[in-house]
Structure 1
Amino acid sequence: MSQTPILSLRSARLSVGDKLVFKAGNLHILPRDRIGLVGRNGAGKSTFLRLLNSQSELDSGEYTRQAGLQIGSLGQEVFFENNESVYQFMSKDIADTAGKHVPSQISRILAMVKLSPDRNMGELSGGEVRRASLARAIVWKPDLLLLDEPTNQLDLQTIEWLENWLVSYSGAVVLVSHDRALLRRVTDRTIWLYDQRVEVHDGGFDSFERWSAKLRAFETETDRRQSQKLIEEERWLARGVTARRKRNQGRLGKLKILREQRRARIQEKEYKVSDPYVVEGGGVLALEAKAVSMRYGSQQILQEFSIRIRRGDRIAIMGPNGVGKTTLLRILIGDLVPHTGAITLAPKTHPLYLDQHRAVFNHHETVWEALCSPGGDTIEVNGKPQHIVGYLRKFLFSESQLRRRISSLSGGERSRLLLAKTFAARGNLFGLDEPTNDLDVETLDLLQEIVSDYRGTVLFVSHDREFVENIATSILAIDERGFVTEYIGGYSDYLRLRPPLQETAARKVKARPRRTPGPRTSLGYKESRELSVLPDEISVLDGKLRNLEKILSDPTLYQRDRNTFDRVTNECLRLRTELKERESRWVELEEKQEALRELQKGGT
């Protein structure tokens, strides 16, 4: 029996001022839907949520909602009076609702997000204000919950609590988030604001990337006949997004090697060296922290802590809100002097720092002018000149966008431009403070690729679990008391390596189980054989694709030999599809083999 939608859009058209958000949009939200709303920064995701909440009106089309539908919402901006209590903030919108103004319910939800109802809103940190706003949105368990970047400024503990709460929630959810781990676990449908359209995918975020890549490839092929210039720009834009995800998957294998190397260095005590900057075996250190600590007044922020960090390490700093993650990052890159101890940077170590507040561009400049000297067309990238068009293409900018004023760029485009400018600077020790905040999925993929390929050392604060999982060689976890512990690996390793004390104690007295037949702990013959040949197949396909792309790079080919251009373009599309399938299968088998190895270790 089919369910009745609680909210529907039919042939809907929406614009803000003279900007069209979407046209001919159709959507039906069912009672228990878990919908992820995605799209590039500036595509209109927040505007779309306001429309669903009846805070905007359609230009044309139909908006219908179930009679008596209760909607709860969390926006990116929160408005409150500084002198009102958290309890007053929670209750003021529902005080006149008969039968619902129940202090115990408010107190219970505030306890879940670890906030006192008596505190003044003006005294709360950014993360605490976010928790109060989240509590207000969910306290009465509305029929439809609209969440706009709910994890911004939240610590990992609160994010994990929210994730579990949403999974068990009985109502419908429409969620905008840059937290891909949250989207993967929670969502079962996806709305994509793309090319001024509302595209609906009947699958969660886990399958969205494959679905959207196919849609892009199809549209690129359909539209490519319009003009030579259009096909050139659309081809590299569409290819850049899908190829970036393929390359990021391939980097996971290299990341495992880096993690193993750092684990081996610690286990074998390679840091006991005579030269302060050289590790035995020829490795070079980027920095050394010796017995550093930090306090503000009577509050101890960082307990005594020592570490040596090699060039090429990518170390995440994680912990609850307010424990001093930014302080630790600034100390390690030499931007803040510790209360005790010392930081020694290697002689050829040059730090760069991207803080949470970001840099501000001259909005009257064009994209070109922001990176090039007047009249120039090259930019110095780590000491070497590169043409501005080629360099910015790596950051998803088409040539036509380079003459646009910065004031006309979306937030995501400005973030990409800032990344381009920052990574062009000379330096080999990069400090990133919450670099993923407010970025769209494509820019997150871009950032992941840049950091993965960065030849220097990267230290970063982040609450984005998937970013940490895919980037970090190790994690520095700081707790409420200021103690720092290093865990080798990504986020999943961090969870695995910090067993609860009660569980550890129970494990000591647990009797040895009898040997019983267990599940398979290794790949079968066919899968092992398939895994062994896939790298060579991928390499051959990649080589063929590169050769064809060299042919297409000839700007005169389209006019000179249209038949060859069409044939090579079609073959490129076929090879990309085949290559993506091979790479996806390789990643699938690698992950399966790794899981079986872990199962085997756990059983020994």
Structure 2
Amino acid sequence: MALPPLLTLQDVALTFGGTPLITKAELSVAAGERVALVGRNGSGKSTLLKIAAGLIEADAGRRFVQPGATIRYLPQEPDFSGFETVLGYVEAGLAEGDDPYRARYLLEELGLGGEEPTASLSGGESRRAALARTLAPSPDILLLDEPTNHLDLPAIEWLETELKALRGALVLISHDRRFLETLSKATVWLDRGVTRRMEEGFSGFEAWRDSVLEEEARDRQKLARKIAAEEDWMRYGVTARRKRNMRRVGLLQDMRRRLREERRAVGQVQMTASEGETSSKIVIEAKGVSKAYGGRDVVKDVSIRIARGDRLGIVGPNGAGKTTLLNMLTGALAPDAGSVTLGATLEMVTLDQRRESLDPNWTLAEAMTGGRGDYVMVGGQPKHVASWMKDFLFSPEQVRTPLRVLSGGERGRLMLARALAQPSNLLVLDEPTNDLDLETLDLLEELIADYAGTLILISHDRDFLDRVVTSTLVAEGDGRFVEYAGGYSDMVAQRGHGIGPRTVSPAPRTASVKERAPEDSPEHAPEGGAETAAPREKKRKLSGSEKHQLETLPRLMAALERDIAKLQGALDDPDLYARDPARFEKLTTLMGNAQAKLAQSEERWLELEMLREELDGRGGA
């Protein structure tokens, strides 16, 4: 028997600036459900999630939340105003009765101490703080908008484990395919203002989406044939009879209107890369290159040879030296020791994660042409800027749009358009997938597959790495890098574990303390400050908060058991519902909350007790 929904949206509609964004959207979330909300950039996914969270009121439709159900929403841009430290920000998200020690536990797991000033947080630190605040209360429903943005691979894999262990329901927006496939059990597709639901995780979405679009195409063909038949009648039947059948004329106009509306479906990105002359057989050869900052080895004694046609992926925690190594390999940074030799006739195009610093008052056309005319050179041939931008999903009307109004995804597509217009035989991409939707990622993959030159790629997107690279260079720590054949999954199979600490099997959520690794060089860190490095496993003992929880959780569990017994005694009254339905509902909600909290407390105490025994065993070994 299906559980009743905790949250329901029915026939939701919303219009922005006179243009309908959402026309008929529905969303239903029952206890424990895992729903992926997918759609193109600009389709209204984030807006629909805000409506579900109660932050935006729809123009039409109905929103219903079960009484007593708790909802927590993770925004893309958290607001830290009014909070001096990260811990203050996270603890402010706790409600009465929530476990105050879970905030510190999550901050520890995410590599934050809690005393960091909110005014100086980097993008990754902001995202980690917002995740801790959202997860700390253990709500009934989690609404997460791009939770993996600005996170490195160890943090993404930790978050997957944490979310899989939670008992609450989950609605998730993400451009990370592997993340969606791991966590989702149902998929809601928002397309042209309307939602469709599939009772299957994201792994089956693309085949389902394609079948829906193929069916739509067949319907359009049938409609087009019917229109042709009606036009034939219009040409000959009306003329022969000298009399117009206005009803049939009206039907024809209506069918043409329907066909036009159906063809308004968002188009596909068309990408081509301008290829330069063929490079030499050996593109880059590095011998024993090293780089240190402040006495710390960022890159240490790395040797690698990159041949023409290779596709090299570089992975590792934020701050592990990936960008420093990339800059040395491409000649942008001199090593402290060792040598780098670049091949002859090298034409290199770089797309870095800072996305360049462009004048926000420039228009799209000016950004593409440098303010010189209306044409851009693509593959040595002039192409009108409107035609080139159309290949990247920009409408002709947007060519004169100032850059300041572009979304993150649109800025990402613009930078790809700028980079790919330049002739090259070496493509260097530092986090190219940031803010790109799934369809654009598909076509970027196709572009790389067809690209005749050499590719060097830094990415935290495991699925993207699996699809495009031929070898993976992994930051192993202390400045060391090791190359593995194949993509990310191949690397994991050879290495025995992912980018995070080595584990034989999934460890308890409290099985390691996270520490902040040193940042990459400040001179070459991403814009906005170096990200918090991924936590590493170290010899440890129970933290102060963990010891406190071990001591206090038994008392809390005993109190919860007493509360449950009292509530059960009141609910045992057979006439309570008929006499006082409101009180019955309130007691039922309190009972459910108390039982859930007791189960959570028991699980947490058991984890800590197992950890204490494990650590005591290590100490005595």
Checking the alignment, whether the CA contact within 8 Å between 2:38 and 2:188 is kept in structure 1 is: yes
Q: Partner of 1:39 in structure 2?
A: 39
TM-score using structure 1 length: 0.69
| Within-5 A mapping of 1:386-401 | 394-396=391-393, 400=396
> CA offsets, 1:199-252, max 9 Å, x none?
222222111111211222233344464669x889959976x57x99xxxxxxxx
Range with greater deviation from structure 2 (403-412 or 468-477):
403-412
1:405 is aligned, of 382, 401, 405, to 401
Give runs of aligned pairs for residues 349-428 of structure 1, distance below 5 A: 349-359=346-356, 371=368, 379-385=376-382, 394-396=391-393, 400=396, 405=401, 407=403, 410-428=407-425
Cα separation, 1, equivalents of 2:343 and 2:416: 25
Partner of 2:63: 63
Tell me whether 346-355 or 79-88 shows the greater mean CA deviation.
79-88
Deviations for 1:96-130, whole angstroms, at most 9, x for unmatched residues? x333252x322222232232234444555432332
Matched to 1:100, the amino acid is: D
Please tell me whether the aligned partners of residues 427 and 455 of structure 2 are also in contact (alpha carbons under 8 angstroms): yes
- What root-mean-square deviation, in Å, do the aligned CA atoms of Structure 1 and Structure 2 show? 3.4
1:455 aligns with 2:460: no
Q: 2:491 aligns with which of 481, 494, 500?
A: 494
**Residue 302 (structure 1) aligned with residue 304 (structure 2):** no
Q: Which amino acid aligns with 1:77?
A: E
1:292 match: secondary structure: strand
Which ranges of structure 1 fall in alignment gaps of 5 or more residues?
A: 245-277, 505-604
Aligned to 2:150: 153
Does the CA contact (< 8 Å) of 1:42 and 1:411 recur in 2? no
Judging changes above 3 Å, is the alpha-carbon distance between structure 1 residues 395 and 108 closer, same or farther for their aligned structure 2 residues? same
Which residue pairs with 1:176 in the alignment?
173
Alignment of 1:76-95 (within 5 A): 76-80=76-80, 84-94=84-94
Highest Rg: 1 or 2?
2
Please show how residues 101-500 of structure 1 align to structure 2 within 5 Å.
102=100, 104-122=101-119, 124-223=121-220, 225=224, 234=263, 240=268, 284-359=281-356, 371=368, 379-385=376-382, 394-396=391-393, 400=396, 405=401, 407=403, 410-499=407-496
Do 2:25 and 2:190's aligned partners in 1 also have CA atoms closer than 8 Å? Answer: no
Displacement of 1:445 in angstroms is 0.8
**CA displacement at 1:322 relative to structure 2:** 1.3
Q: Is this contact kept in 1: 2:349–2:426, CA < 8 A? A: yes
Secondary structure of the residue aligned to 2:208 is helix
| Cα deviation, residue 150, structure 1 | 0.8
Summarize the Cα distance change of 1:213–1:306 in structure 2 as closer, same or farther, 3 Å threshold.
same
How far apart, CA to CA, are the structure 2 residues paired with 1:503 and 1:419?
38
The CA deviation at 1:489 is 0.4
Q: CA deviation at 1:67?
A: 0.8
**Preserved CA contact (<8 Å) 1:363 1:405:** no
The one-letter code sitting in structure 2 at the alignment partner of 1:56 is I
AA aligned to 2:187 is: T
Instruction: Measure the CA separation in 2 of the matches of 1:379 and 1:137.
Output: 46
Give me the whole-angstrom Cα distance separating, in 2, the residues matched to 1:370 and 1:124. Answer: 30
Determine the C-alpha separation between the residues in 1 that align with 2:218 and 2:406: 27
Partner amino acid, structure 1, of 2:44: G
CA contact under 8 A between 1:82 and 1:123: conserved in structure 2? no
Long gaps (5+) in structure 2: 225-254, 272-277, 505-621
| One-letter code aligned to 1:79 | D
Distance 1:288 1:383, change over 3 A: farther
Secondary structure of 2:138's aligned partner: coil
Alignment of 1:505-584 (within 5 A): none
- Judged with a 3 Å threshold, the aligned counterparts in structure 2 of structure 1 residues 364 and 214 are, in CA distance, closer, same or farther, namely farther
Q: Which residue matches 1:552?
A: none
Indicate whether 1:13 and 2:38 are aligned.
Answer: no
Q: Give the whole-Å Cα distance in 2 for the aligned partners of 1:156 and 1:434.
A: 12
Q: CA deviation at 1:309?
A: 0.6
For the pair 1:75 / 2:71, whether they are aligned, the reply is no
Q: How many residues align?
A: 463
**C-alpha distance in 2, partners of 1:390/1:3?**
51
- Cα pair 2:93 2:133 within 8 Å, conserved: no
Measured after TM superposition, the shift of residue 304 of structure 1 is 1.6
Q: Give, in whole Å, the separation in 1 of the partners of 2:414 and 2:263.
A: 20
Q: For 2:114 and 2:370, how far apart are their aligned partners in 1?
A: 55
Q: Give the direction of change, closer, same or farther, for the CA distance of 1:480–1:24 in structure 2 (3 Å limit).
A: same
CA contact (8 A) 2:73 2:134 kept: yes
CA pair 312-502 structure 1, distance change in 2 beyond 3 A: closer
Could you give the per-residue CA deviations for residues 253-274 of structure 1, whole angstroms, max 9, x where no partner exists? xxxxxxxxxxxxxxxxxxxxxx
Residues 236/336 of structure 1: CA separation in 2 closer, same or farther (3 Å cut):
farther
Taking structure 1 as reference, are residues 108 and 33 closer, same or farther at Cα in structure 2, changes over 3 Å only? same
Distance change >3 Å, CA 117–CA 414, structure 1 → 2: closer
Q: Give the Cα separation in 2 of the matches to 1:146 and 1:236.
A: 27
Distance 1:6 1:473, change over 3 A: same
| Residues 396 and 452 (structure 1), Cα distance of their counterparts in 2 relative to 1, 3 Å cut | farther
Structure 1 residue matching 2:200: 3-state secondary structure: coil
Q: Which moved more, 1:352-361 or 1:418-427?
A: 352-361
The answer for the alignment partner of 1:50 in structure 2 is 50
- Judged with a 3 Å threshold, the aligned counterparts in structure 2 of structure 1 residues 162 and 502 are, in CA distance, closer, same or farther, namely closer
> Residue 455 of structure 1: CA displacement?
1.6
Give the Cα separation in 2 of the matches to 1:53 and 1:494. Answer: 39
* Equivalent residues of 1:11, 1:26 under 8 A apart: yes
SS in 2 for 1:8: strand
* Aligned-partner SS, 1:455: coil
CA distance in 2, matches of 1:366, 1:217: 36
Query: Match of 1:15, SS?
Result: strand
CA distance in 1: counterparts of 2:372 and 2:476, whole angstroms = 51
Residue type matched to 1:493 in 2? D
1:271-318: CA deviations, max 9, x gaps?
xxxxxxx9xxx9801111122111222222111211111111111111
Equivalent AA in structure 1 for residue 3 of structure 2: Q
Give the Cα–Cα distance (whole angstroms) in 2 for the partners of residues 422 and 339 of structure 1: 30
3-state DSSP of counterpart to 1:395 = coil
**Alpha-carbon contact 1:412-1:443 (below 8 Å) kept:** no
Matched letter for residue 405 of structure 1 = T
Distance 1:390 1:83 in 2: 47
The amino acid of 1:110's aligned partner reads L
Deviations 1:372-408 (A, max 9, x none): 698977642243455667655653456x567563556
Separation in structure 2 between the aligned mates of residue 127 and residue 182 of structure 1, nearest angstrom: 17
What secondary structure sits across from 2:197 in the alignment? strand
Determine helix, strand or coil for the equivalent of 1:215: helix
d(CA) in 2 for partners of 1:33 and 1:41?
24
One-letter code of the match for 2:426? L
In 2: Cα distance, 1:382 partner to 1:151 partner: 35
| 1:479 aligned counterpart, secondary structure | strand
Alignment check: 8 A CA contact 2:313 2:471 kept: yes
Letter paired with 1:482? G
Q: Percent identity?
A: 41
Question: 1:45 is matched by which residue type in structure 2?
Answer: K
Aligned to 1:532: none
Mapped to 2, the partners of 1:350 and 1:227 lie a distance apart of: 50
Q: Is the 8 A contact 1:361 1:370 kept in 2?
A: yes
* Aligned-partner residue type, residue 45 of structure 2: K
